[in-house]
Structure 1
């Protein structure tokens, strides 16, 4: 193993420290999977076997339309352990050097890429070339250029590219979407999105510019960006932003600690958002219309999501987000289903355009005009 690969694996292992423990969630990886025998099943290989991949793998044990059938990792010990745990045979386990061979494996339909941000681009191109569908964690890339190349590669290969925007399938989120669409909230005037936590281990890849492509905005702030778009129901046309950095030893050049940003929409609605790696207990969306408001707190974590309006609680059921996400994505890929709120690669590119504009606004102190195309 070369030194760069060893360093990468060490960073990936350390990153798991920042994630909540899996045992805190009320479902078992050993539960018998209740697959739907009457409909096709999406056979998924997980790439990057870190803490979040384990959460996805556990959640998928409750899926009706998706199943873990492949594993891709640079750590042989993980491939062995996960293979036994999830019933993935040796012939469907790959490393980062040989995973192009998935093209010859009929037991893999799609690859869920759950690796550091900077790796998504190259890995997506390789998966697409192998003729497999791609599900890519957010942010989809570290630049607009990379994101567009991913979209183009998947289109050329005739495969789907979906981004892991799990909140776009969450019941409370969809309830708010329906309320806005029906006019129940009235004309939307204002959105506030607060997203953040204390980063923890200073050596993890999330604060490494080379692997993360940025800092809090790429990781947690993207929820506020994404939320502003699907809660307001419009795409922003301008952005202003300000960066605050209190610990330059951890948050080095190009790695943002805290960013406040403001978005303007064609209707005149505005959004005020905060993204940070320096404060805990920031997970709140607030949407204000002329007739009603919606407050969601927590709004994006693993739940249960809680929401209320002036008339009381939203009272939507709690679901395991990744279970719902993977079943819905299976239907998008296998059945051609159109999701209520899109999760395709073009949406991911639009988010990257907003992220780049926010960084430019921080650097220049000037308002940036947006054209999401």
Structure 2
């Protein structure tokens, strides 16, 4: 015999079934009053975007506003030049998170691969080009900019071709294989009246920008010493990064450049002298043409000393530490594509405090692409223009010279640079929203 509770549950289920059946058969449902509009829940339209009031209480941080992407037809159209790992694994997916840019064309030396990728990303078959089709690219008005992602030794050729085609250029780092090539690229873009930006993604990434803000704010006193390390293991001996004609060098221009550029961007100063040492494991044919490891020291006008190191022969580690008068700013996974962690150690009364700054993770490739698009739309100089890439080549050449001679090498300031910070950079990018 069923219990009273079992019967009650059974009657409830039967009643619910009857109600559902009634709705399915068109039975009239009780009318609900449409209450007044509630901006707290529906939001309001202001200046072309939807905004909501902060619904969080005082115990939580204010959430960011919802994204406000431009209509696809108004975004800056990019052609991605080169379909290697970086393009396929990071850049093309990043366009899905951009707000002011879209990919409209592909340039590749591998027709089968290019056609497949075009289908995957909805790119028209007639917007797929070979490296020798710059005349056709020039005639495509949908392409306003190109993103050069080919090996370093080909950057000069492709940037010059893009400038001649009248297209703005976002070029991967390192900018070229030498300072002479970098100067030629800058001159070509200036003559063609197109913008040239170097893809220093970390200068757009929120955690790296927060380290710069903290270091320059004086909140924990002035920086005194900086340590930067970027290392990983490298296999596959036939890859282009181990060929000097295509890479220009080994660990230094590929991953050590993040240490060099990161320290320069953090301080806003330019190093006045460098010392360095190179090492490659004897007998390892991977490093027959390029170096395996480099350690270098940069001295800055303010007296800050930066100790930097990079290697192709160690377990992956990427770290940036700023030692100030009253604190230690430690960015872990500093130069990685994702996963940054920022810890600040400082005295707090009689105890040592370690505060982790938790920021919203942003796709740094999308941020840099959108910055380039914004500069094209607003006709302004990029934050990381060609002059920023050129200065890194000048300093890297001094590093190689210091390693070769064993002497401290003086570094000349950027040509024509005005006094003050950030001499080789354009206006700051918009905050990552």
**Aligned-pair CA distance for 1:292:** 2.0
What is the aligned partner in structure 2 of residue 172 from structure 1?
207
Q: Within 5 Å, which residues of 2 pair with 1:227-242?
A: 227-242=262-277
What is the aligned partner in structure 1 of residue 251 from structure 2?
216
1:300 and 2:335 are equivalent in the alignment: yes
| DSSP-derived class of the 2:189 partner | helix
What is the aligned partner in structure 1 of residue 36 from structure 2?
none
What is the aligned partner in structure 2 of residue 42 from structure 1?
76
**Aligned-pair CA distance for 1:247:** 4.3
Counterpart Cα distance in 1 of 2:323 and 2:237: 37
Contact 1:40 1:334 in 2 (8 A): no
- Residue 411 of structure 2, aligned match among 365, 370, 373: 370
- Residue 82 of structure 1, aligned match among 112, 117, 126: 117
What is the aligned partner in structure 2 of residue 316 from structure 1?
359
Of 63-72 and 246-255, the range deviating more from structure 2: 246-255
| DSSP-derived class of the 2:301 partner | coil
CA-to-partner distance for each residue in 1:300-344, whole Å, 9 max, x for gaps? Answer: 1011211111140121111111112211221122224566xx311
What is the aligned partner in structure 2 of residue 58 from structure 1?
93
Structure 1 unaligned segments of length 5 or more: list them.
1-32
- Residue 155 of structure 1, aligned match among 187, 190, 206: 190
- Residue 143 of structure 1, aligned match among 171, 174, 178: 178
TM-score, with structure 2 as normaliser: 0.76
Structure ID, larger Rg: 2
What is the aligned partner in structure 2 of residue 286 from structure 1?
321
**Aligned-pair CA distance for 1:185:** 3.1
Of 135-144 and 37-46, the range deviating more from structure 2: 37-46
Give the aligned CA root-mean-square deviation in angstroms: 1.7
Counterpart Cα distance in 2 of 1:347 and 1:317: 27
1:72 and 2:113 are equivalent in the alignment: no
1:123 and 2:158 are equivalent in the alignment: yes
Structure 2 unaligned segments of length 5 or more: list them.
1-66, 346-353, 415-433
Counterpart Cα distance in 2 of 1:137 and 1:248: 31
| DSSP-derived class of the 1:192 partner | strand
1:350 and 2:391 are equivalent in the alignment: yes
Contact 1:72 1:99 in 2 (8 A): no
Counterpart Cα distance in 1 of 2:113 and 2:412: 43
| DSSP-derived class of the 1:280 partner | strand
**Aligned-pair CA distance for 1:100:** 3.4
- Residue 325 of structure 1, aligned match among 368, 371, 376: 368
CA-to-partner distance for each residue in 1:228-269, whole Å, 9 max, x for gaps? Answer: 112233111100000111144334454010010000000111
Counterpart Cα distance in 1 of 2:289 and 2:404: 11
Counterpart Cα distance in 2 of 1:175 and 1:100: 43
Equivalenced residue count is: 339
**Aligned-pair CA distance for 1:180:** 2.5
Does the C-alpha gap of structure 1 residues 203 and 153 become closer, same or farther in structure 2, counting only changes over 3 Å? same
Does the C-alpha gap of structure 1 residues 145 and 191 become closer, same or farther in structure 2, counting only changes over 3 Å? same
Counterpart Cα distance in 2 of 1:248 and 1:210: 21
Relative contact order: is structure 1 or structure 2 higher (C-alpha 8 Å, sep ≥ 6)?
Answer: 1
Of 213-222 and 91-100, the range deviating more from structure 2: 91-100
Does the C-alpha gap of structure 1 residues 34 and 63 become closer, same or farther in structure 2, counting only changes over 3 Å? farther
Counterpart Cα distance in 2 of 1:72 and 1:81: 13
What is the aligned partner in structure 1 of residue 53 from structure 2?
none
Contact 1:231 1:287 in 2 (8 A): no
| DSSP-derived class of the 1:281 partner | strand
| DSSP-derived class of the 1:49 partner | coil
Counterpart Cα distance in 2 of 1:50 and 1:362: 32
